[in-house]
Structure 1
Amino acid sequence: MAAGKNSPIVKALTIAERKTSGEIRVHLSRRLIEKDPLGRGLALFDEYKMTQTANRNAVLIYVNLRCQRFAIIADEGIHRAVGQMYWEELAVNLKEDLLSTYFENAISLTIFTLGVTLQKYFPVDV
């Protein structure tokens, strides 16, 4: 993976968060044993204090690269705005993208999608 500002994931995050009050965070893991990516993602969501955004509009993308498993964790504000079906479709698309392209590209596509959605429901306060 490219380091720092040159990473496609970092570039995608910068662009996506530019026009929204929402927060998107990505956590990549290489743990050998990962039985519950959702549980790990929820723990990280709490550890990163992602429920502290003003509109409860934070999203965590947790990906275990070694096990090729992931979880998308959304706070209640954005979840309420888009509904469960949105997250299910986003997860299907991420899974397909992870199988068909480099993980950086797959995650970046998901970030761009989230950015558009967050901008629609939670535009940046001017």
Structure 2
Amino acid sequence: MAFPMFSKKPEDVLTAAEKEQIVNAIRQAESQTSGEIRVYMESHNKYVDPVDRAAEIFYKLKMEQTAERNAVLLYIALKDRQMAIFGDEGIYSRTGKAYWDNLVKEILQHFNKKNFAAGISEYVQKIGAGLHHHFPYDRETDHNELPDDIAFGN
């Protein structure tokens, strides 16, 4: 069975409106937390383990440089149908692995229905809610430390 959407470049899988939907979800989620959220999409994961690739991208994007070490990367490899989440040390020390594993299972349900934009947007909102609990937004001190746009690889 062929999946024509997986033969497209990562940036062409989503429409302009869907990209805007995801960026708006990032902005809305970050408006409730001092945490930072990024989405990275590429066609193929050259590694076996998507978490290893997510970690590489996390550091390539310099996401570990946030003041509170509270950045989260949502990594998606389209052709390989892989997804991973990678959060900085400040997050994992407070939330635990089970929290992220459950969210990954939820978003995969959207992906299996080919509802990528809605799945990513919902997941970003849930990440923001989780971050809000441990890293609430402070109007006096918080500023946007990382870009809100979607990053695309090859």
Q: Is the 8 A contact 2:40 2:74 kept in 1?
A: yes
Q: Offset at 1:100?
A: 2.6
Q: Offset at 1:98?
A: 1.2
**Residue type matched to 1:85 in 2?**
A
Counterpart of 2:77? 64
- Work out whether 1:94 is the aligned partner of 2:116: no
Q: Is the 8 A contact 1:34 1:67 kept in 2?
A: no
Q: Give unpaired runs (5+ residues) of structure 1.
A: none
Q: Offset at 1:84?
A: 1.2
2-structure distance, mates of 1:70, 1:6: 18
Name the larger-Rg structure: 2
Task: Identify if the C-alpha distance between structure 1 residues 64 and 6 changes in structure 2 by more than 3 Å, giving closer, same or farther.
Answer: closer
SS in 2 for 1:7: helix
Mapping of residues 45-84 of structure 1, within 5 Å: 45-84=58-97
**Residue type matched to 2:66 in 1?**
T
Q: Is the 8 A contact 1:34 1:64 kept in 2?
A: no
**Residue type matched to 1:108 in 2?**
S
Q: Is the 8 A contact 2:73 2:87 kept in 1?
A: yes
1-structure distance, mates of 2:19, 2:98: 33
Q: Give unpaired runs (5+ residues) of structure 2.
A: 1-13, 140-154
SS in 1 for 2:74: strand
**Identity level (%):** 37
Normalised to the residue count of structure 1, the TM-score between the two structures is 0.89
1:81-112 deviations in whole A, cap 9, x for unaligned?
A: 11111011111112222113411111111101
**More moved, 64-73 vs 5-14:** 5-14
Which one has the bigger helix percentage? 1
Note the aligned Cα RMSD (angstroms).
1.9
Task: Identify if the C-alpha distance between structure 1 residues 83 and 46 changes in structure 2 by more than 3 Å, giving closer, same or farther.
Answer: same
Normalised to the residue count of structure 2, the TM-score between the two structures is 0.74
Task: Identify if the C-alpha distance between structure 1 residues 116 and 71 changes in structure 2 by more than 3 Å, giving closer, same or farther.
Answer: same
**More moved, 96-105 vs 64-73:** 96-105
Could you list the runs of 4 or more consecutive aligned residues of structure 1 that deviate by over 6 angstroms after TM superposition? none
Counterpart of 2:145? none
